[in-house]
Structure 1
Amino acid sequence: MIQGSFHTAFPIGDASRVGEARRHGAMLAYDCGLDEVEAGRLALVVTEMATNLLRHARQGRLLLASRPGRSEVEVIAIDEGPGIANIERCMNDGFSTGGTSGTGLGAVRRLSQHFDLHSSVPGGTVVVARVRGARHAQTGMAEALVGAVALPAPGEQVCGDGWSFALEGNEIAIMVADGLGHGPEAADASRAALEIFAQDPLAGPRVLIERAHARLRSTRGAAVMVLHADAGAGTVRSAGAGNVVGRLVSGTSDRTILTQNGTAGLTIRTPEEVRHDWPPHALLVVCTDGIETRWRPEILAPVLGRDPALAAAILLRDHCRGRDDATVAVVRRAH
């Protein structure tokens, strides 16, 4: 089970934000149970990535999130240009991001247990790095298959969206919930839906929507989508209620997955389960309504076989509405 927390965003507009991001990373390291050496590696990763944004990027933001159950902190850097013309040179030792104690992105890659990067000129760059504790037993397969980015609405301290993945063999189940409105009460609603999912994530989309609807009656309600993807069979089954949208996107196909009208916990019709084909190279993307729906599928073509968090971060960067909680969750099939 991979149940995500939301990301905290730090717009890197001046040097003070670098220190602010580093201090937040230290707090996350403590919450995750990282030891002193691991926390030190995370501090260097945050410093290098934030300083790189400050010195070289336009509209750079650093996103940090912890995975307490997995003793892991995820750091994502996104910017709007100018992009990296020579990625190989940037990864070489001795190419510093500008006066830091490390050696640029090469240091970030060495200090992280997982690292991936995508850049286009002049579009911009997305970097994903994860630092985890020695006790973390994850093999890395899960992070190669699933990824998500979630941000609270402007001015909020908590995110009203929630997401969770469960992996078993060739099967991947996912729930994305968007509590009505935003703030703590919206977060309570999405959290209640995820609790239902955690109890039996492979129960099936229709069953889970019914259970979530019953559980959320004591909350303000939420839009919820549940998908059950079977890589062996090449299928995706879905059910949901409200304004959460899925898409199956590859270099040759683009299919939208919709939910029924209604709100789990308030009023929904009898849930209907829909089956879709899952092409071998297609990404399964699920977005809450904080993300614009009319994005071009070709923007994800360069990252189809990469860390799904790259695709999630690209969509968040380019298509976040900026006035509500926003979540993008992405699943890809194993090679």
Structure 2
Amino acid sequence: MGDRSRVGEARRAAAELAGRHGFDAIQSGRLAVAVNELGNNLVGHARGGRLLVGACQLGDAIAIELISIDDGPGMADLQACLRDGYSTGGSAGQGLGAVSRLADDFDVYTRPGQGTLILARFYREHDANGAPRRAGAGFDVGAVCVAAPGETVSGDGWNVAMHDNRADVVVADGLGHGPDAAEAAAVALAVFAQARGSHPGRYLELAHGALRTTRGAAVTAARADAGAQRIRYAGAGNVMARVMSGIDDRTLLVQNGTAGLQMRAVQEQEVEWPPHALLIVHSDGIQSRWRLDDPAVLQRDPSLVAAFVFWKFCRGRDDATVVVVRRAQR
């Protein structure tokens, strides 16, 4: 985001999303203020800044997320930046404090000299007391899905279905990128919706059959069971999954092949899911052997965790998707 005209572009994208998903005029106005503040902050202070704008539906909960990403200089005094009247240069003078008040969910990760991530989430539905209607079933979910440079659609797709104290997760990476890859990912997600409740191995078999009419996709599916503290999973290709906490880091190995093209008999596997561990699933737009130099980031909102992995480990030449699932901390 190198000039202020891009702020207007981001504001129009947010307004289009808000209209498409039924946000009212007041909600759309709050969203616009947040886009202005975050966007102008990036223009005025950031290096290599990006503002991600996206909508997400999990169950009955619909939200629009803004994620600001920049490479520096970071905020040495976060609390000062959040105080009323602390202006982000060139903005309306409301500052990050206004964004934190307007958003239903707000989170910041910053390191002086290295950069800052900011999340502002706006839900469409609220109860009589003004509390946002979040997805239930005891899980918090966050994701980032960004198209390859030069593309207008992502060839990756993801979804999470929550039921009976379980979260079923899928990430599909259509071969290549662009519209044909996006079509393959869409087919994989359609099968996921139709096969609701199926074990990961069975889902992968169904996806393999449906994807034969497409260019094919790398697909990984997992069932995170909070009650049993286990994760069952199956996958074909280079969509990676990891179980991570401050003391644990386990990669979930999947088989070679491409769903829809060539795939051996499905091998479903199972691992432990420690109480404080996150399940992180990502496409190969993210480096395969990344390591966190600050495990404290795992305590942030799952969308910020996903944004951190994208920020630090994106290859920069392909579609990139990161999905994070955590047991709810509310």
Mark yes or no: TM-score above 0.5: yes
Classify 1:143/1:52 alpha carbon distance in 2 versus 1 (closer, same or farther; 3 Å).
Answer: farther
Give yes or no for contact 2:229–2:272 (8 Å, CA) kept in 1.
yes
Give yes or no for contact 2:64–2:122 (8 Å, CA) kept in 1.
yes
Alignment of structure 1 residues 217-236 onto 2, 5 Å: 217-236=212-231
Runs of 4+, deviation exceeding 4 Å: 68-71, 140-144
Distance 1:111 1:261 in 2: 46
Alignment of structure 1 residues 1-335 onto 2, 5 Å: 12-67=1-56, 70-134=61-125, 138-139=133-134, 141=136, 145-299=140-294, 301-335=295-329
Give yes or no for contact 2:74–2:112 (8 Å, CA) kept in 1.
yes
Cα deviation 1:192-218 (Å, max 9, x = unaligned): 111111123321110000010011111
Classify 1:87/1:141 alpha carbon distance in 2 versus 1 (closer, same or farther; 3 Å).
Answer: farther
Distance 1:113 1:157 in 2: 29
Q: Secondary structure at the match of 2:299?
A: coil
Q: Secondary structure at the match of 2:177?
A: coil
Classify 1:20/1:251 alpha carbon distance in 2 versus 1 (closer, same or farther; 3 Å).
Answer: same
Distance 1:74 1:219 in 2: 31
Cα deviation 1:216-238 (Å, max 9, x = unaligned): 11111100000000112111111
Which stretch shifts more, 80-89 or 134-143? 134-143
Which stretch shifts more, 141-150 or 254-263? 141-150
Q: Secondary structure at the match of 1:304?
A: helix
AA aligned opposite 2:243: L
Classify 1:128/1:142 alpha carbon distance in 2 versus 1 (closer, same or farther; 3 Å).
Answer: farther
Q: Secondary structure at the match of 1:89?
A: helix
Classify 1:139/1:24 alpha carbon distance in 2 versus 1 (closer, same or farther; 3 Å).
Answer: closer
Distance 2:115 2:273 in 1: 30
Give the superposition deviation at 1:318: 0.9
Cα deviation 1:228-282 (Å, max 9, x = unaligned): 0011211111101011111111111111112111110111011111111111221
TM-score, length basis structure 2: 0.93
Distance 1:333 1:143 in 2: 6
The size of the alignment, in residue pairs, is: 323
Give yes or no for contact 2:109–2:300 (8 Å, CA) kept in 1.
no
Distance 1:164 1:122 in 2: 35
Give the superposition deviation at 1:141: 4.8
Identity %: 52
Classify 1:277/1:57 alpha carbon distance in 2 versus 1 (closer, same or farther; 3 Å).
Answer: same
AA aligned opposite 1:229: A
CA root-mean-square deviation: 1.8
AA aligned opposite 1:44: V
Which stretch shifts more, 222-231 or 14-23? 14-23
Classify 1:143/1:54 alpha carbon distance in 2 versus 1 (closer, same or farther; 3 Å).
Answer: farther
Give the superposition deviation at 1:155: 0.7
Give yes or no for contact 2:137–2:164 (8 Å, CA) kept in 1.
no
AA aligned opposite 2:29: G
Cα deviation 1:38-79 (Å, max 9, x = unaligned): 111110010000111111111110001123774431110001
Which stretch shifts more, 158-167 or 53-62? 53-62
Q: Secondary structure at the match of 2:250?
A: strand
Classify 1:177/1:138 alpha carbon distance in 2 versus 1 (closer, same or farther; 3 Å).
Answer: same
Distance 1:133 1:329 in 2: 22
TM-score, length basis structure 1: 0.92
Distance 1:37 1:176 in 2: 34
Give yes or no for contact 1:236–1:275 (8 Å, CA) kept in 2.
yes
